[in-house]
Amino acid sequence: MENRRKKIISWAVIIVVITGIAFGAGFSAGLSAQPEINKVTDLQDKTLGMPQNVDFSPFWKAWNIINEKYVSSAAATTTNDQDKVWGAISGLAASLGDPYTVFFPPEENKIFTSEINGNFDGVGMEMGVKNNIITVIAPLKDTPAERAGILPGDQIIKIDDNVTAGMSIDEAVKLIRGPKGTAVRLTIARQGKKSPFEVSVVRDTIEIPTIDTKLKPAAGATSASTTPAGPQRNGVFVISLYSFTADSPSLFQNALRQFIASGSNKLILDLRGNPGGYLEAAVDIASWFLPPGKVVVSEDFGQNGPPVYYRSHREDIFNKNLKFVILVNGGTASAAEILAGALQEYGIAKLVGTTTFGKGVVQELESITPDTSLKVTVARWLTPLGHSISEMGIKPDIEVPMTADDAAKGKDPQMDEAVKLLSQM
């Protein structure tokens, strides 16, 4: 995470990554130095990092025609040559048809940097592209989006008056975020609703939540509080993990200490609405439950290189007496899917809920210039058994839907099923 090539498993946020960086750099240099069509051969010199088998003459022809003939439809609108370069690189990234491969010009780069560092004003939800539609992965806990009733799986049809068809994730994010106290209108299509509806969300400063713990009574019990005789050993300990930040491993370790101190052997890890975060955090947390050296996830680079395996790196601290359920839903994404998928496939935990979002791609952030960057999809995540997370998401062992009506009434059938299942183990 600290090196130059930052691994991003999620943060589609609150955003949500093209190789060929040398190509982009050479492209920029060439545009500045050689604006004539007859200079194309010079542009393909290896010293500029240009491919030898690509004909750039159509690009230069279009460049010169625009410079010579274009008249803006708005008198006050001008585009300088550098903006054209940024637009060309953006088009290059968009040509791949990957919603997560995006170029950030200077202003967008500032926004992205602030968001990935966790400091931004907005509505507090992560989005992805599903079936070519901008889709909510999950609203973050205690954010304007959650308070406005936004749900995982909601499709965003319009942002204010802007139709989202054909819009990239980062374009959508740019429209949604804004100064604290201002409002954005979202037109939502939701499964079970006959027609789209509008939701007005007031922006606020977003603080990414991390973790909560509590002790619940087991099925049939009335209380899980401690007694003079000691901890409530029949209770169910719940760890709700909302994101995978740099602090998540240490916070999770403290939560495990609380779990052990409770005397319970029944654990629920609630990953519903967890949009992911840092890969290292997911591997570290999985390592508490797996013997050392077990594959947690692998990185498949296709034809670009051999796979990379991420393995558990400590002694597992729990024996077979642990009864473990993980709650998942359509808002469980990326690093959260990695953790859930690994513990499910090794038989450590049962999954309850609905199928996860299916964001199993790896992005790296590359600097193009000091104030621009390129977010690049470089690989896909595979579970320990080699299943692609992106293709179908992670399916739960026990499927339990949860409707908007359930949430409105304060009901949680998924949690109820998890508690029931633990009591029967």
Whether the per-residue pLDDT at 226 is higher than 50: the answer is no
The 10s digit of each residue's pLDDT in 331-355 is 999 999 999 999 999 999 999 999 9
Among the residue ranges 45-54, 238-247, 313-322, the one predicted with the least confidence is 45-54
Sign of CA dihedral 222, 225, 229, 235: positive
Residue 62 or residue 221, greater confidence: 62
How many beta carbons lie within 10 A of that of residue 78, not counting itself?
8
Whether the per-residue pLDDT at 376 is higher than 80: the answer is yes
**What would the 3-class secondary structure string for the chain be?**
CCCCCEEECCCCCCCCCCCCHHHHHHHHHHHHHCCCHHHHHHHCCHHHCCCCCCCCHHHHHHHHHHHHHCCCCCCCCCCCHHHHHHHHHHHHHHCCCCCCCEEECHHHHHHHHHHHCCCEEECCEEEEEECCEEEEEEECCCCHHHHCCCCCCCEEEEECCEECCCCCHHHHHHHHCCCCCCEEEEEEECCCCCCCEEEEEECEEECCCCEEEEEECCCCCCCCCCECCECCCCCEEEEEECCECCCHHHHHHHHHHHHHHHCCCEEEEECCCCCCECHHHHHHHHCCCCCCCCEEEEEECHHHCCCEEEECCCCCCCCCCCEEEEEECCCCCCHHHHHHHHHHHCCCCEEEECCCCCCCEEEEEEEEECCEEEEEEEEEEECCCCCEHHHHCCCCCEECCCCHHHHHCCCCHHHHHHHHHHHHC
Among the residue ranges 23-32, 69-78, 225-234, 274-283, the one predicted with the least confidence is 23-32
Whether the per-residue pLDDT at 115 is higher than 80: the answer is no
| Mean pLDDT (whole number) for 278-298 | 96
Residue 221 or residue 399, greater confidence: 399
Whether the per-residue pLDDT at 372 is higher than 90: the answer is yes
Q: What is the pLDDT of residue 49?
A: 63
Whether the per-residue pLDDT at 1 is higher than 80: the answer is no
pLDDT band at 220, cuts 50/70/90?
low
Whether the per-residue pLDDT at 77 is higher than 70: the answer is no
Q: What is the pLDDT of residue 13?
A: 34
Cα 64 to Cα 27, 56, 70: the distances in Å are 15, 13, 10
345 an active-site residue? Answer: yes
Tokens matching residue 213: 């713990």
- Max Cα separation, the chain? 89
Whether the per-residue pLDDT at 222 is higher than 90: the answer is no
The 10s digit of each residue's pLDDT in 172-218 is 988 998 889 999 999 999 988 899 999 999 999 887 778 999 998 87
Active-site residue, from 130, 266, 350, 359: 359
Residue 35 or residue 167, greater confidence: 167
299 an active-site residue? Answer: no
Active-site residue, from 240, 264, 287, 334: 334
Whether the per-residue pLDDT at 27 is higher than 70: the answer is no
Q: What is the pLDDT of residue 161?
A: 94
Q: How many residues does the chain have?
A: 425
Whether the per-residue pLDDT at 404 is higher than 80: the answer is no
Among the residue ranges 211-225, 261-275, 356-370, 410-424, the one predicted with the least confidence is 211-225
| Mean pLDDT (whole number) for 343-372 | 93
Residue 115 or residue 134, greater confidence: 134
Tokens matching residue 10: 């999620």
The per-residue pLDDT of the chain, averaged, comes to 82
| Phi then psi dihedrals of residue 25, to 5 deg | -65, -45
Whether the per-residue pLDDT at 369 is higher than 50: the answer is yes
Among the residue ranges 37-46, 47-56, 147-156, the one predicted with the least confidence is 37-46
Q: What is the pLDDT of residue 157?
A: 96
CA atoms within 13 A on the CB side of 368: 28
359 an active-site residue? Answer: yes
| Mean pLDDT (whole number) for 15-26 | 25
Tokens matching residue 397: 């062992």
Active-site residue, from 6, 345, 388, 390: 345
Q: What is the pLDDT of residue 72?
A: 77
Q: What is the pLDDT of residue 170?
A: 76
